Amino acid sequence: MNEEVVVPQYSLDVQNNAPPDVQYKVKHLISFTEQMIDQMHDEFIKFVIHFSDKDYSKKLIQFLDDKLISYPKITINADSKENMQSFVFDELKVSLSDEKDNSDLHYAHPFATLSIEIPKPISHFFSKTNVLSDWNQIYSNFINFIWELIRSAPFNFVRINPLGQHKINSYYYVFYVE
């Protein structure tokens, strides 16, 4: 059964200026992304429950959901390739390192870009790596889960930001979507 997915408005930002001939792809990407947000939220909550005691995890989950910080934030930008590149490099401030092989980006034929910001508690506590080892495990499991979703997607995702380049409160991953 196809359950309707409801995600907080904060979690999905769509900038859709795509030409009419790719609008159906954009609509399909939006639907996929809403499901992805819902799955990422559920997985994050499972990790919190697993690594917390029961009484504490209920209160923590309620707090995280109330503040909408248990959800990832995903931005879709569907536009011309030039405008998408401007969004990625000017607005998100993604810079390509010299060691990154840019050949995939050069030959990409995207209809959109997609940026993922992981839930704030993960990025916040992971940056304090020696403080909370459980959060490191949550982080590691969550990143692996994101890659499972990306690999199983009905689209081809070409990663734009180099390995290790993340901007907290802006993006963790940035992809061209083909």
Render pLDDT for 104-122 as a digit per residue (tens, 0 to 9): 666 668 889 999 999 888 8
First to last CA, the chain: 27
- For the chain, the 3-state helix, strand and coil shares in percent, each to the nearest 5, are 50, 15, 35
**Which residues, 6+ apart, have CB-to-CB distance to 137 below 8 Å?**
47, 51
Antiparallel, parallel or unpaired: β 73-78 and 12-16: parallel
Render pLDDT for 20-69 as a digit per residue (tens, 0 to 9): 888 999 999 999 999 999 999 999 888 888 877 767 778 888 888 888 88
In a domain, 116, yes or no: yes
**Predicted local distance difference test score (pLDDT) of residue 94:** 79
In a domain, 3, yes or no: no
How far from chain centre, in Å, is Cα 36?
9
In a domain, 167, yes or no: yes
Count up the domains in the chain and report the number. 1
**Predicted local distance difference test score (pLDDT) of residue 130:** 52
Render pLDDT for 121-167 as a digit per residue (tens, 0 to 9): 887 766 555 555 667 778 888 999 999 999 999 999 998 888 888 88
Range of the domain at 42: 9-177
In a domain, 2, yes or no: no
In a domain, 165, yes or no: yes
The pTM (predicted TM-score) of the whole model is: 0.83
**Predicted local distance difference test score (pLDDT) of residue 8:** 67
